[in-house]
C-alpha cells in the first residue's frame, strides 16, 4: 500500500525580503550602501573619535597628512584638524540632506496630490505656481533666499527645500492623474470615504515608489547645494561643513591641495552613494521598469 504525499507550497517571502533581494542584485547599489553606512558612522561618531572642537586650533597650520599622528589628515591654514572637520562635516551634510529632502518631498507630495486628484482650476493654479518656480534657476533662487533669510544652517536647509519641491510635485501629480480613475478609488468614493482619506490612504501609497527613488536625487542635490553656498562664503561659519573646508582650502590650493581635496573627495563619494542607492531602489521598487 503506497501513501500519496503532496508537497505543501512554500510560503512566499515577506515583501521586505523580496525588496532586499532585488536591491542586492545590483552590486553598484551595494557599494553605494556601504559608502552611505561609512558616512553615517562618521556622522554618528563625530566627537567620539575626534573629541576636539573642529573649529579650534589643533596643531601647527598646514601640517601635511600622516606627518603628525595627533592630526592624521593634517591641518588647514588656521591649524584646525581636518579629520575632525571631516567627521563633523558628515553630520552637517547628512542633516541638511535629510531635512531638506523631507521638507521638499512633503511640499511636493501635498501640492502634487491635491493638483492631480482634483484637477480643474485647482490643478491650473498649482501647476502655474510650480512653473513660476521652475522658471528661476534653482541656484539663483537659492542665493536670493539665503540673502533674505540668512546663512544659518536652519535657513539654508529651508531654502534648499523651497527650490527642490517642484520636481516631486509634478511627479506626484502625474501618478495621481493615472491612479484617480482606478476601481479601488471609485469603490472608496462609493463607500463614502472622504477625499483626504482617499488621497493619503488609498492613492498615495501606490504613488510612493518613484518618490522614494527620487528622494535619493534630492539628498545628493541638497548636499551639493549646501557645499556650493559654503564654497562661496555663504555657509554657516559656526559649523564645520565640507563646503566650508573647500572654500577655505582654495586659498592654499596650489601649495596645500589636500585642504580642499579631502573634503571634496568626501562630497563626491557621498553624492555617488546616493546615486547608486537610487538606482538600487529603482530596481527593487520597479522591477519591470528595468526590463
Mean pLDDT calculated for residue range 246-253:
86
**Does residue 95 sit within a domain?**
yes
Q: Report the interhelical angle of 27-45 vs 15-24 (nearest 10°).
A: 100
Would you place residue 4 in the very low, low, confident or very high pLDDT band (cuts 50, 70, 90)?
very low
C-alpha cell at 60: 601647527
Total tally of structural domains belonging to the chain:
1
DSSP letters along 65-126, please?
TTT-TTSTT-B-TT-BBHHHHHHHHHHHHHHHHHHHHHHHHHHHHHHHHHHHHH-HHHHHHH
Whether 4 is covered by a domain: the verdict is: no
Does residue 234 lie in a domain region? yes
What pTM, to 2 d.p., does this model score? 0.87
Please tell me the predicted confidence (pLDDT) of residue 50: 64
| Greatest Cα pair distance in the chain | 91
3 is a domain residue: no
Residue 287: is its pLDDT beyond 60?
Answer: no
Instruction: For 141-163, give the DSSP string.
Output: HHHHHHHHH-SSHHHHHHHHHHT
Q: Is residue 9 part of a domain?
A: no
Distance, CA of 290 to CA of 275 (rounded, Å)? 16
- The DSSP-derived string for 171-200 is HHHHHHHHHTTSHHHHHHHHTT--HHHIII
Residue 10 lies in a domain: no
7 lies in some domain: no
DSSP state of 63: P
pLDDT, position 7 = 52
CATH number of the domain residue 121 falls in: 1.10.3720.10
Domain that holds residue 138: 15-290
Residue 126 lies in a domain: yes
Amino acid at each position: 500500500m503506497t501513501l500519496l504525499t503532496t508537497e505543501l507550497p512554500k510560503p512566499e517571502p515577506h515583501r521586505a525580503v523580496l525588496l532586499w533581494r532585488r536591491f542586492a542584485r545590483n552590486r553598484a547599489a551595494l557599494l553605494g550602501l556601504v559608502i552611505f553606512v561609512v558616512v553615517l558612522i562618521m556622522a554618528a561618531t563625530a566627537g567620539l573619535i575626534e573629541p576636539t572642537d573642529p573649529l579650534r586650533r589643533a596643531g601647527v597650520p598646514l601640517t601635511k597628512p600622516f606627518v603628525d599622528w595627533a592630526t592624521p589628515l593634517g591641518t588647514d591654514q588656521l591649524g584646525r584638524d581636518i579629520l575632525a572637520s571631516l567627521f563633523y562635516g558628515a553630520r552637517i551634510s547628512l542633516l541638511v540632506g535629510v531635512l531638506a529632502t523631507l521638507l521638499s518631498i512633503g511640499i511636493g507630495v501635498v501640492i502634487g496630490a491635491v493638483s492631480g486628484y482634483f484637477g480643474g482650476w485647482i490643478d491650473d493654479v498649482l501647476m502655474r505656481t510650480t512653473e513660476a518656480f521652475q522658471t528661476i534657476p534653482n541656484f539663483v533662487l537659492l542665493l536670493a533666499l539665503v540673502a533674505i533669510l540668512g546663512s544659518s544652517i536652519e535657513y539654508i536647509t529651508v531654502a534648499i527645500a523651497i527650490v527642490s519641491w517642484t520636481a516631486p510635485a509634478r511627479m506626484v501629480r502625474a501618478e495621481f492623474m493615472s491612479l484617480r480613475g482606478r476601481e479601488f478609488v471609485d469603490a472608496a468614493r462609493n463607500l463614502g470615504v472622504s477625499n483626504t482619506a482617499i488621497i493619503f490612504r488609498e492613492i498615495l501609497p501606490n504613488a510612493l515608489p518613484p518618490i522614494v527613488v527620487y528622494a535619493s536625487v534630492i539628498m545628493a542635490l541638497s548636499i551639493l547645494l549646501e557645499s556650493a553656498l559654503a564654497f562661496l562664503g555663504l555657509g554657516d561659519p559656526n559649523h564645520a561643513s565640507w563646503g566650508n573646508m573647500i572654500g577655505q582650502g582654495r586659498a592654499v590650493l596650489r601649495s596645500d591641495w589636500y585642504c580642499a581635496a579631502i573634503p571634496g573627495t568626501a562630497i563626491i563619494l557621498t553624492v555617488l552613494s546616493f546615486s547608486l542607492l537610487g538606482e538600487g531602489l529603482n530596481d527593487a521598487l520597479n522591477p519591470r521598469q528595468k526590463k
